[in-house]
Structure 1
Amino acid sequence: MTPSATPEPSPAPVLVLMATLNGGPALQEQLDSLSSQQHTHWRLHVSDDGSTDGTLDTVAAFAKAQAAHGRDVAITSGPGRGFVANFLGLLAGVRDDPAFVALCDQDDVWLPDRLQRGVEALSKGPADQPGLYCSRSWVVDQDLQNPRISAAFPRPATFGNALVQNIAPGNTILLNAAAAQLARAAVSAAQAVPGLPAHDWWLYQLVTGAGGLVIWDPEPTLRYRQHRSNQIGANKGFGATTRRFSAMLAGRSRSWTDANLAALRGAAHLLSPESATLLEAFDRARRGTLWVRLTAPSKLGIYRNGTLAQAALLLSLALRRL
């Protein structure tokens, strides 16, 4: 008798988390790009923060269409306190330990291999080590035209970098099961901190702080739509540099750092001993004398990608704006 062929393993399931608020016409294009993914084994959880346009109708129609393909689309009400709280609530609600968790903005357009690239990259690492995949994007205008590639981050993804710079755009993030479990264990501490600047930055800090693996893919995996209602714009160009410099001078960078450190302290038991030590050393240094502040990056291994960004780090430390 001819031995039966070994069946192909089922594709790893991906839970996609999308936060919405008045998504408008762009939402349908994002949903269409999700249904066109090469990695077809996914389900979607939408948390809506009180849309008053046709967002809920669009999602409901999409849910009905996807049910025919055996894909579940769930719709729940968000906390109504902004996109950061909405995404944190979505992460807190992950209960069934999916193999992977992807974050999704409401107005981008995913390239067909967005999920597949992330799943393949993270699948090469240890399953018990928290893993976060992220990538570059094609930054486009409101009509998805005039593409330009997003910023490059060639230096290693470490906790020392994560403390002062976010290189993990949330709309490109994919977490493995261990990272999703880590986020769920830490999210209540983050939710308790007022003014947490960004859920993706928190995830980058958390995963690196816990000794996890961060894979930054230099290949773009989506079209990042820019328009007036963007909550956070592309981190590239003169406008982005000007915004960051203005935020630093206004003291917002320091308040963001205070909030980030508070969230990490609330989950200190999940950090590696080395990261917990670095966290406290960095906080002491940013409050120290001018000499201590200026020498902290080299002594502690804290850095930003890019010459100008590193210079801005030193300036913000000199002026006590970090």
Structure 2
Amino acid sequence: MNAAAERPDIAVLLGTYNGATYLRAQLRSIGSQQLAGGLTPRLTLYVSDDGSRDDTRAIIAEFGAEGTVRVVEGAGPCMGFAENFRHLVLTCGDAHDIYLFCDQDDLWHADKLQSAISRLAPFANAPAMVCGRTLNIDETGARVGLSPLFSRQPSFRNALVQSIAGANTMAFNRLAFALLRRSAGHGPFVSHDWWTYLIVTGAGGTVIYVPEPTISYRQHAGNVVGANTGLLSRLDRIRRGLRGQFRDWNQRNIGLLALNSDLLTQENRAVLADFRRARSRLFLAGLPWLLKSGVYRQTLWSNLHLYAACAFAKL
């Protein structure tokens, strides 16, 4: 591995909003990252703040003044977390080697950057992304548990109906970022993590799912999106599915994929067409098209939910 590959130019995309309570700890975990051989990473932290009314921006300025990490801070669109991160994707520098999403209240483990660099290294000439599990912690930093472990291969057929990892676990190379940036210019998405998974796999890129967590995901009352674990979470997903939220999300994703169809492989355009046919049929008539599309979720339970959603026109 040459020197540039050992110490790539890295961009971290951080969306903030009233995050002062936990932000300093997160910034410390970013600033203390080290690479193999004790090398200090070349980091640029892009911050988009959505109108914080606490000390968030002052904490960012304080961290930037330390000089450990280059900080580029700007005002967000104030239209929710997904639009804040889309704004970051559209406005950050486009010549970095590796990009990572970052939440304001997590903690990066010491090996997060090195793990991403090592896993992305074989894909210098193709779009690639790393994602994985999180170690869930509470407000005090005490361990709560791990996010679900998924074992089926990441793919576009999976991405159409499921986001398998939080954006805070994602790292992707410049070619994957180019796909994300180009596609994001066509309009808003449901969530930045789901869309990144969709467009990278849809374009034929590689997604590497890592079972060992490299971040601690803090669960607290102020989280916009909670941990996807437990019976209550499962019941809540069923409730939202019955109310049509899953169908609405799919419709929005499909609309944006249609605007970016030139980025999809021929095979994945065919998969998308079959999935759309499954959604347009009433009741059991959609199931043959769903099976033909080959789409799948990661667990037996969630696949049963998928088939039920199709049968009851909630897909």
Q: Same fold (TM over 0.5)?
A: yes
Moved more, 294-303 or 304-313: 294-303
Q: Does 1:58 align with 2:56?
A: no
Separation of aligned partners in 1, 2:2 and 2:142: 43
User: Counterpart of 2:138?
Assistant: 141
What's the TM-score, normalizing by structure 1? Answer: 0.92
User: Counterpart of 2:240?
Assistant: 247
Separation of aligned partners in 2, 1:153 and 1:62: 36
Separation of aligned partners in 2, 1:129 and 1:190: 25
CA displacement 1:70-117 (0-9 Å, x = unmatched): x31011000110000000110111334100000000000010111111
Q: How far off its partner does 1:7 sit?
A: 8.4
Q: Does 1:290 align with 2:291?
A: no
1:12 to 8, 17, 34: 8
- Asked if 1 retains the 8 angstrom alpha-carbon contact of 2:195 and 2:253, the reply is yes
User: Counterpart of 1:268?
Assistant: 261
- Asked if 1 retains the 8 angstrom alpha-carbon contact of 2:278 and 2:310, the reply is no
1:118 to 91, 99, 116: 116
- Asked if 2 retains the 8 angstrom alpha-carbon contact of 1:97 and 1:181, the reply is no
- Asked if 2 retains the 8 angstrom alpha-carbon contact of 1:211 and 1:272, the reply is yes
Q: Does 1:130 align with 2:130?
A: no
- Asked if 2 retains the 8 angstrom alpha-carbon contact of 1:296 and 1:302, the reply is no
Q: Does 1:186 align with 2:183?
A: yes
User: Counterpart of 1:214?
Assistant: 207
CA displacement 1:22-74 (0-9 Å, x = unmatched): 00210111101101112322110100000000000000000001x2x3x3101
C-alpha distance 36-248 of structure 1, shift in aligned 2 (>3 A): same
Which structure 2 segments of 5+ residues have no match?
36-40
- Asked if 2 retains the 8 angstrom alpha-carbon contact of 1:297 and 1:303, the reply is no
Amino acid at match of 1:103: F
Identity of aligned residues (%): 37
| Paired residue secondary structure (2:47) | strand
What's the TM-score, normalizing by structure 2? Answer: 0.94
| Paired residue secondary structure (1:190) | coil
| Paired residue secondary structure (2:187) | helix
User: Counterpart of 2:169?
Assistant: 172
Amino acid at match of 2:206: L
Amino acid at match of 1:217: V
- Asked if 2 retains the 8 angstrom alpha-carbon contact of 1:97 and 1:177, the reply is yes
Q: Does 1:90 align with 2:88?
A: yes
Q: How far off its partner does 1:274 sit?
A: 1.2
Count how many residue pairs are aligned between Structure 1 and Structure 2. Answer: 309
Separation of aligned partners in 2, 1:156 and 1:88: 27
Separation of aligned partners in 2, 1:215 and 1:240: 25
User: Counterpart of 1:259?
Assistant: 252
- Asked if 2 retains the 8 angstrom alpha-carbon contact of 1:24 and 1:54, the reply is yes
CA RMSD of aligned residues (A): 1.5
Separation of aligned partners in 1, 2:190 and 2:226: 14
| Paired residue secondary structure (1:25) | helix
